[in-house]
Structure 1
């Protein structure tokens, strides 16, 4: 049986969707990029970061967890939403420690790339400089907790893709942080470098040892193309 299709609009553009798709999935397929951080196409959506928040039928909602519905009206690219997203990115920068010029993830970091795309110049809030520890107990992976943005990608990947429970959150509010299921650190868990959880981090928190500079600066994902350009290229190819 063929899947049921329908249409809705995003910023005045008509989008075709399939029953069961979320707003962000339908927009990705149509070549319309909605900024996001916690969302990953291979993982169940969580709606944690709120960067993908859009105005949907007059009310704000996260595009990654909102089902697409026939006739819905979505606004994404507005000054208000861009400002809200930029404020979220700024808060993530000041709540952690993100030294972009010398970070191993520079050029491949989605937080950094979103800062560029959204026009972030300098955060208005003071840096908190939390000074969290680096966990280097694993032979192949290290965790830099200062760069974690609490997106939960690694948690979802470990549980749903790897069949493990390596990661979780502890604490609440500003004191929330990523933890592992072993008192001795990551080295005492079942984590492996080939796990899905090791490859989905959007920033420089989960890093594979001895592989950080195999792709040199200047040749990484976002060094030459803005974040989201791969999605927007789908719309360009349809027009040509």
Structure 2
């Protein structure tokens, strides 16, 4: 039998609210368990955090740090909803929009896209920066799965899911700086020559629709999708 306590050991303050936590939990994990939303993109409760997107950054005792990687400890004073913190989150989100090609009005993921939902939550009205309109390869070579790199935000969730859940290691991140991209581990570099299957967790965990099953468009009509009907902060089970 495990000796790890299953009841909270103490609390920290998050925007003035006491948040209980279990041993080993991060600020993000404890907040989610308490039903408190901290904006994030690369974090998923089923996988170990990597802290890459920085959208979840909070101020801890006066210092900015990713809440998904910061261990919770007694007496921490954490700020998440300060105006300057949300302003920085908005800027990070805007950069993701201009560094990709996110055409929300006709994207199949609209209404169920975490990037779009976070942008709405942060009251993003425009992209602020000049659009880069980069060229990204689309891989439609697989009979059942499509990869549109224009939507990819490099969250690595598909990389982790393929390796840790599917046991296949189909995806990886390669390149540097603006040339960083999602790559397919196959001799040709194409999905058709990889081990990916439409049933893989990696295909369905993508938060933005970079990876999508083919022939399943608009199964849930626009207007009835999760973030069409509620702010992402009110849907912790989806975030």
Task: Please state which band the TM-score falls in when normalised by the shorter chain.
Answer: over 0.9
Q: Find the aligned partners of 2:33 and 2:112 in 1 and give their Cα distance.
A: 23
How many residue pairs match? The answer is 232
Q: Comparing both chains, which one has the higher relative contact order based on Cα–Cα distances under 8 Å and sequence gaps of 6 or more?
A: 1
Q: Find the aligned partners of 1:200 and 1:23 in 2 and give their Cα distance.
A: 23
- Of residues 181, 186, 192, the one that matches 2:191 is 186
Does 2:94 match 1:85?
Answer: no
Deviation at 1:231, TM superposition (A): 3.0
Taking structure 1 as the reference length, the TM-score comes to 0.94
Taking structure 2 as the reference length, the TM-score comes to 0.94
Q: Find the aligned partners of 1:103 and 1:21 in 2 and give their Cα distance.
A: 36
Q: Find the aligned partners of 1:6 and 1:131 in 2 and give their Cα distance.
A: 49
User: 1:35 matched to which residue of 2?
Assistant: 39
Deviation at 1:184, TM superposition (A): 4.6
After the TM superposition, list the runs of 4 or more consecutive aligned residues in structure 1 that deviate by more than 3 angstroms.
1-4
Q: Find the aligned partners of 2:192 and 2:231 in 1 and give their Cα distance.
A: 35
Q: What residue ranges of structure 2 are gaps of 5+ in the alignment?
A: none
- Of residues 21, 39, 51, the one that matches 2:55 is 51
User: 2:173 matched to which residue of 1?
Assistant: 169
Contact 2:174/2:181 (<8 A) preserved: yes
Where does 1:90-105 land on structure 2 (aligned, <5 Å)? Answer: 90-105=94-109
Q: Find the aligned partners of 1:116 and 1:7 in 2 and give their Cα distance.
A: 30
After superposition, the CA RMSD in angstroms is 1.2
Q: Find the aligned partners of 1:125 and 1:56 in 2 and give their Cα distance.
A: 29
Does 2:233 match 1:228?
Answer: yes
Deviation at 1:44, TM superposition (A): 1.4
Deviations 1:148-197 (Å, cap 9, x if unpaired)?
00111101111111111111111111110000011150111111111111
Q: Find the aligned partners of 1:82 and 1:107 in 2 and give their Cα distance.
A: 22
User: 1:5 matched to which residue of 2?
Assistant: 9
User: 1:235 matched to which residue of 2?
Assistant: none
